[in-house]
Amino acid sequence: MIVLKAMAIGAHPDDVEIGMGGTIISMVKQNIDVTILDLTDGEPTPRGTVEKRKNESEKQNKYLE
């Protein structure tokens, strides 16, 4: 059995989910194992806080599973 894998890389928490959430959902439906890599914790952030971005990312990831 071939297992397909993909990695989506974003600068900050929630960037990948916002930018390509629909694509990730489509990939998961095709049984592709998707990993999201955030390169930073979101700091410095012009909007909100690091904790807020982390919480937003975690909420969005529930829809992508």
- Could you report the per-residue pLDDT of 7-63, keeping only the tens digit for each? 999 988 888 988 999 999 999 999 999 999 999 887 777 777 888 888 888 888 888
Range of the structural domain that residue 17 is part of: 5-64
Confidence at residue 23, expressed as pLDDT on a 0 to 100 scale: 95
Q: What is the dihedral of CA 20, 27, 29, 54, to 10 degrees?
A: -40
Could you give the number of structural domains in the chain?
1
24: Cβ contacts below 8 Å, ≥ 6 apart: 8, 16, 17, 34, 36, 64
Whole-model pTM: value is 0.76
Report which of residues 12 and 6 the model is more confident about.
Answer: 6
